[in-house]
Amino acid sequence: MSLTNPSQILLRNAELLTATSPLFINMPEDGFIDVYIGLNPQAKISCYNTNYSDYMALKSKHQTKTPSINNLFSSTYQSEIKHDLVILLFPKSKAELAFTLATVAPYLTDNSKVLLVGEKKGGIQSSPKLTQHFLTNCQKVDAARHCWLFAGIVQSEQLAKEFKLDDWFKKYEITIDDIKLTITSLPGVFSQQKLDVGTSLLLQNLPTNIKGEILDFGCGAGVISCFIGKKHPESILSLLDVSALALTSAEKNLSLNGLQATVFPSNSLSNIEGKYQYIVSNPPFHQGVNTHYQATEDFLSGITKHVNNKGIVTIVANSFLRYQPIMQQHIGHTEIRAKAQGFTIYQSQCK
């Protein structure tokens, strides 16, 4: 994989990268670490990712290399190391930026340097305002390849602040078909503030008499599974997502609504075992600031080996996404169950 634009702009500023114990946050495996080791061979590198795909790519490449690299996949950061440099890929959610800085703050040294890098169209230009209570003198230091690089020094009072995960959840209530649910989510999780239109439409058009093994693919905060678990208590729920923030939110919601389920990370189909009678999903189609369909198309074209004979796959998608032909080809007869407000419910029965 070639160096991404954010990695290239970082390496243009090699004088800012010198550190004893750097922490790279949500950086992809694009070769940046190899170059960094060449520039700073004595550095003890740590990587923290909330994206399971990026975490596994880093783990696969670097777990057997010397020097060893600390690699963590989690919704919150924990370490025995104090870091003197943080490099953070600017998230698509501004609320997630504050959350991430707060969770790593207890593990920074005095006067730790923080570098924020990201594509200009992703909102990184707002970094000084967003970090004014966390960083001192946050300034743009470079712009190249449609990316900006900001640098600042962590404020000393931030280092002593205790991070409390519960302070970051946003909670709301929903009622659909007389099913009442309490929903709470962490920053960066889809529909943190309220139920989205697509999921609402899906919940109103699920198959009837759901029972047996159910897989919630790309579960987000777990709203779909919580609804199914309440309406069909005989169902056996499994939830997967690529995001640690989503998985933690889903576990929280299952607990709040008195439900039990298996919750696990997966890079699309990578960690799915066994077969299911029903698979439901509101699959994402955005990755970073760019529209991205491949993960959903891979899911739809490969899911049949995890569906029982005559099993049902039900998804909601933006109506302009042409998923019906893919489902018809790879899963079985596919019908449109509902259309409203720019969303469509597709349902297939496995051949």
The reported pLDDT for the residue numbered 1 is: 59
Q: Taking a C-beta distance cutoff of 8 angstroms, is the pair 96, 85 a contact? A: no
- What pLDDT score was predicted for residue 292? 57
Distance from C-alpha of 82 to C-alpha of 289, rounded to nearest angstrom: 31
Architecture of domain 169-349: 3-Layer(aba) Sandwich (3.40)
| Strand, coil or helix: 145 | coil
Give dist(CA 268, CA 266) in Å, integer.
6
Question: Per residue in 126-144, is it b (16+ CB within 10 Å) or e — as a string?
Answer: ebeebbeebbeebeeebee
Residue 287, pLDDT score: 45
CATH numeric code, 5-163: 3.40.50.150
CB atoms within 10 A of CB 70: 15
Beta bridge partners of 153: 113, 136
> Nearest to residue 51, comparing CAs of 280, 252, 218, 191?
218
3-class DSSP state for residue 324? helix
Q: Each residue's pLDDT tens digit in the chain (351 positions)? A: 589 999 999 999 999 999 999 999 999 999 999 999 999 999 999 999 999 999 999 999 887 776 679 999 999 999 999 999 999 999 988 899 999 999 999 999 999 999 999 999 999 999 999 999 999 999 999 999 999 999 999 999 999 899 999 999 999 999 999 999 999 999 999 888 889 999 999 999 999 889 999 999 999 999 999 999 999 999 999 999 999 999 999 999 999 999 999 999 999 999 999 999 999 999 876 544 444 578 788 899 999 999 999 999 999 999 998 899 999 999 999 999 999 999 999 999 998
What pLDDT is stored for residue 304 in this prediction?
94
Where do you find CATH 3.40.50.150 in the chain?
Answer: 5-163, 169-349
pLDDT at 62: 86
80 CB-near residues (< 8 Å, 6+ apart): none
Q: What is the pTM of this model?
A: 0.95
Which residue in this structure is represented by tokens 């690089």?
149
